């Protein structure tokens, strides 16, 4: 596709359920980022991949959050035993790796509502 | 830790007029990148403009320009000839010069354009 895609666009989960959010980056983009955006706030970094390697997961709020990118393209963010405070928009972004190229291209996000 | 502050939660501008959105940041790095992203109600984050800290010349992109004051750690966005389509959330963001690294976002400014 021409841009970053994310699915589902909307997800409603009951408290305690597990959810999986998918990100399809732009073809050929080496770097992939996940951000969490609470209502009325700016996005906050969760984790970062370079190809299949997870280089930074310092932003993951708890061990209930897990991300993977096994083949260096599609990535999945998994949240186990969801809590109400997990309700947010989850944004994925990808970028080329290369000197001077620093633009991150964002997907439309997945809005997660935990009831 | 780097921080980004946007002190104007909301701004409004008359169509065809000029508006300036403020952003300040805090970092101990000497080289870094600064960005302005636009997020319309559809949620897709779009890069508006970027500035490399080592460049003294202010970046411009058509109707969008920045006033980068490195010593003051200030990075404001000026939108000239405002259009209805400019209405959106605007986020200021920072990234270290080390390359494909996570963005640090401000809390955003909601811009309304009045016809």
Is residue B95 within 8 Å of residue B74, measured between CB atoms?
A: no
Nearest chain B residue to A108 by CA: give it. B44
Is residue A43 within 8 Å of residue B91, measured between CB atoms?
A: yes
pLDDT digits 0-9 by tens, A39-91: 989 999 999 999 999 999 999 999 999 999 999 999 999 999 999 999 999 99
Whole-number pLDDT of residue A102: 67
Residues of B with Cβ-Cβ distance to A95 under 8 angstroms: 100
Pairwise CA distance, residues A93 & A95, whole Å: 7
Residues of A with Cβ-Cβ distance to B105 under 8 angstroms: 35, 42-44
Whole-number pLDDT of residue B39: 95
Is residue B7 within 8 Å of residue B109, measured between CB atoms?
A: no
Nearest chain A residue to B40 by CA: give it. A108
Q: In terms of pLDDT, which residue wins out, A8 or A100?
A: A8
Q: In terms of pLDDT, which residue wins out, B56 or B19?
A: B19
Smallest Cβ–Cβ distance between B42 and the set A35, A93, A108 belongs to A108
pLDDT for residue B98 is more than 80: no
Nearest chain A residue to B106 by CA: give it. A42
Confidence band of B110 (pLDDT split at 50, 70, 90): very high
Collect all residues with Cβ–Cβ distance below 8 Å to A12 and sequence separation of at least 6: A112, A113, A114, A115
pLDDT for residue B2 is more than 80: yes
State the DSSP code for B84: G
pLDDT for residue A3 is more than 70: yes
CB atoms within 10 A of CB A7: 14
Longest dimension (CA), chain A: 44
Smallest Cβ–Cβ distance between A91 and the set B33, B45, B101 belongs to B45
Residue B44 and residue A97: Cβ atoms within 8 Å? no
Residues of B with Cβ-Cβ distance to A48 under 8 angstroms: 100-102
């Amino acid at each position: 596709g021409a841009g970053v895609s994310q699915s589902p666009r909307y997800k409603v989960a009951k408290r305690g359920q597990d959810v999986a959010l998918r990100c399809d980056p732009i073809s050929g983009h080496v770097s992939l980022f996940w951000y969490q955006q609470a209502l009325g706030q700016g996005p906050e970094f969760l984790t970062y991949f370079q190809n299949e390697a997870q280089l930074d997961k310092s932003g993951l709020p708890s061990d209930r959050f897990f991300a993977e990118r096994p083949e260096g393209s599609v990535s999945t963010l998994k949240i186990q035993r969801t809590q109400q405070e997990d309700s947010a928009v989850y944004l994925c972004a990808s970028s080329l790796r290369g000197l001077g190229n620093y633009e991150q291209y964002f997907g439309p996000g997945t809005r997660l509502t935990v009831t | 830790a780097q921080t980004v502050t946007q002190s104007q939660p909301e701004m409004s501008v008359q169509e065809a007029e000029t508006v300036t959105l403020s952003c300040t940041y805090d970092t101990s790095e000497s080289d870094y990148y600064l960005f302005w992203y636009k997020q319309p109600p559809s949620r897709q984050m779009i890069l508006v403009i970027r500035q490399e800290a080592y460049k003294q010349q202010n970046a411009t992109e058509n109707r969008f320009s920045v006033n980068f004051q490195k010593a003051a750690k200030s990075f404001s966005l000026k939108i000239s000839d405002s259009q209805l389509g400019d209405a959106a959330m605007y986020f200021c963001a920072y990234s270290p010069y080390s390359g494909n690294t996570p963005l640090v976002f401000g809390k955003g400014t909601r811009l309304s354009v009045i016809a």
